Amino acid sequence: MGHFEGFDGVAFWDDSAYALKEYVEEAPPSRELIASLEEELGGYRLPDSYIALMTAHNGGTPTRTCFPLTEPTSWADDYIEITGIRGIGRTRPQSLGGEFGSLFWIDMWEYPDIGVYFADTPSAGHEMLALDYRACGSHGEPTVVHVAQENNFAITLVAETFEAFVTSLVDASVYDTSEQD
């Protein structure tokens, strides 16, 4: 079963110097690497769509970084913004198994252990996006949630699947805030 039909995976990524240094793994993940990271991260099976996206381009900063929401979060009333999506690997600080990978946020920042923290926001750690396995179990299809550290780790549903999250990202210009004081 294919993922991301009609999706331009090349235009999706913004390979800035920062993204290449912090996020982008140099090679696609091998089956062995995926299996060992899934075990390391608590036995959570990464969604096929996540693996498909990372096999094409292993981590990085999307060109479209905003996701429309129907309910407010600590970030904004009607959207959230992400800085990057963690690659499947261990060589970059922001990779799933890197220095600031998923376990860092659970172990050091006491984020709830609900799954895999795969994306961050420009809030420097005060808000994260996670693959939430609470409803589906460690081998099911997780939802995507926003977790706000400053709001007692309030959890807000963002998207039903990782693929729905990725394909619904919009350009930041949709939420042009430059006019605001």
Residues of the chain with pLDDT under 70: 1-2, 176-181
Per-residue pLDDT, 1:
44
pLDDT at residue 178, as a whole number:
56
What's the pLDDT score for residue 44? 98
Instruction: Tell me which architecture the domain covering 9-171 has in CATH.
Output: 3-Layer(aba) Sandwich (3.40)
What is the C-alpha to C-alpha distance for residues 76 and 172, in angstroms, rounded to an integer? 13
* All structural domains of the chain with their residue ranges: 9-171
Q: What is the pLDDT of residue 76?
A: 80
For the entire predicted model, the pTM comes to 0.92
Query: What pLDDT is recorded for position 77?
Result: 83
Residue 124: the pLDDT is 83
Which residues, in sequence order, are bridge partners of residue 66? Answer: 81, 170
Q: How many CA atoms lie within 13 A of 142 on its CB side?
A: 25
| Residue 177 confidence (pLDDT) | 59
Rounded CA separation 35/43 (Å): 9
